[in-house]
Chain A
Amino acid sequence: MNSTKQHLLVSLLFGLGCSSPKLADPHVWRPTSGQGAESIPGPLKNFGPFDSFSDALKAACPLILSKPNASVVHLQERDPELALRVSTEYCAWLYYTPEHKYELSMLTDVPLPGSALHGAASCLLPPNVDDPRYPPSSIKYIFLLHNHPFAGELSEVDINFTVAMANAHELVVEAGSRTISLSVVAFFSNSKDSQNPTCDGFYQYAPATRELLQWINTKGDWQKNKVGTVHWVSQTRFKIIRE
């Protein structure tokens, strides 16, 4: 492929990836400046607030998984390349407010710039929430939420990012009378019905407990299973011991 053709192809792919006419979704925030946003707006309108983080999670799971291509399990066997190309990750913060409520920030589906070239889903979650009702320092960061379109487990990057967020905010949050560990949550659906991506559970990792958890939702009955422990050997080394 000569350089002109290659240039055109790259430009085309960027065009497709960066400016494809995604339908406007009032839940989804896409910063105009592209990468590098420091804050994501909150709260999500007409969603919450919630008195408990569990209620907020139970509501956020089906909401996020209902977004376009948030689950591609139905495509995985039939057309894995298409599944990879269309898979989309959405991410958001669940946070605690001075009014003792749990709120969800807006969702974002902004991937790493240029990721259209290889098709992998990723999500750029700004480290802070901008809720104009409260001073930034009064917001407590509880869960960083996203979805795994292929229903896989948490990645090493997820684990590292969560630790970075625990450093940037608080490892353990005092929320009213509760003590909550900041953690990452990856929702998944096992549904083969493209029109009905059910909320079947999520993976969770909290640096404070070091546990990797799998949660299963069976018709509203939530149960968790410890799938492993992250053993930190140094600030950059960790080993996952599976159960």
Chain B
Amino acid sequence: MPSRRMKTQKLSLVLAVSLLGCGYLQNLFPHQAPLDEDKSIVFPQFFEYDPVKLGAQGEPYELDGEMLRALAVASNDFLPSDDSDLPCPSRKEAQFYRVIRQGDIIFVYIYENHAYCGRKYPALDSGVKYAISTDGRILRRLFDGQPERPIEPQTPDDSGRWIRAEPGDTSGFDAIWEPQPDGGTDSSSPQSPTAPPPAENVRESLSSPH
């Protein structure tokens, strides 16, 4: 019966995504604002791994109810309205939703799918992160640009970590922090990236000294 099972899973996914997109879950899991945020919660990095794209290539995926509820709670908190007059970038379907589960916390990062609305680039600081408990409570919400840790105004000290320089000058750290006593090349230095850089021209520019 694998084909029947597969069909059911596909149907479940389609139903789940449809419900999420159409906002019907808003009635099931009403909008809520965080009351007492747990500021000790540390968010994972959302771009460290390639995500498994749900719905891609027609493969079956299964989403459990807790995960679905976490997505619904986060999306309804960030974008509570499903009004058809909403500008495109503020619609639920115009976002990406990255989800990472760690123990009893489901972390969600919502950020704009600018291409969906025909835009070439995103807006600066247009995302928001949520930590949702498996029973559907918002434990923490962090908008882009908000500090993850409490702000403690820093003062440069003599620890050696600070360099006096003209503001904006990006040069100088590797020579101080990653000395190569034998004159060899540090494999992690910007001149020789160990991993593919984000763009072709990055690769070209980094491979030649400047």
Which chain A residues have a beta carbon within 8 Å of chain B's beta carbons? 6-7, 9-11, 13-14, 35-36, 52-54, 57-58, 73, 84, 89, 91, 111-115, 117-118, 120-125, 127, 143-144, 146, 148-153, 155-158, 160-161, 163-167, 170-172, 179-181, 183-186, 190, 200, 202, 204, 206-211, 213-218, 221-226, 229, 231-240, 243
Contact = CB atoms under 8 A, between A and B. Distances in A.
A208 B205 CA distance: 8
B15 interface: no
A208 B90 contact: no
Given A190-B153, A237-B48, A149 B80 contact: no
A167 B120 CA distance: 12
Interface stretch (B5-13, B59-67, B99-107, B143-151): B143-151
B81 A73 contact: no
A73 B190 CA distance: 35
A73 B122 contact: no
A208 B167 contact: no
Contact of A233 (B121, B151, B196, B210): B196
Nearest to A84: B143
A120 B124 CA distance: 11
A7 B83 contact: yes
Contact of A10 (B83, B88, B121, B128): B83
A237 B126 contact: no
Contact of A156 (B127, B146, B196, B200): B127
The prevalent SS among residues of A at the interface is mixed
A237 B49 contact: yes
B124 A146 contact: yes
B54 interface: no
A207 B124 contact: no
A155 B145 contact: yes
B28 interface: no
B176 to A, nearest CB: 9
Contacts of B198: 163, 166-167, 207, 232, 235, 238
25 contacts: A6-B81, A10-B81, A112-B90, A113-B90, A115-B126, A123-B125, A124-B123, A148-B145, A150-B146, A150-B147, A155-B124, A156-B47, A156-B111, A156-B144, A157-B125, A157-B126, A157-B127, A172-B210, A209-B170, A211-B173, A216-B155, A217-B167, A225-B161, A232-B195, A232-B198
Give the top 8 A-B pairs by smallest Cβ distance, nearest first.
A114-B90, A113-B87, A155-B144, A54-B166, A152-B147, A223-B156, A10-B83, A114-B87
Nearest to A156: B47
Contact of A122 (B83, B124, B193): B124
A236 B111 CA distance: 14
Contact of B81 (A117, A186, A216): A117
B164 interface: yes
A6 B101 CA distance: 33
Interface string B163-198: 111111111011001000000000010100111111
B170 A183 contact: yes
B144 A157 contact: yes
B154 A216 contact: yes
A73 B111 CA distance: 24
A148 B151 CA distance: 13
A54 B125 contact: no
B95 to A, nearest CB: 11
Contacts of B125: 89, 120-123, 146, 148, 155, 157-158
Given A84-B143, A149-B145, A216-B154, A161 B196 contact: no
Contacts of A117: 79-81, 86, 90
B206 interface: yes
Contact of A36 (B86, B119, B188, B199): B119
A150 B122 CA distance: 20
Contacts of B89: 35, 112-115
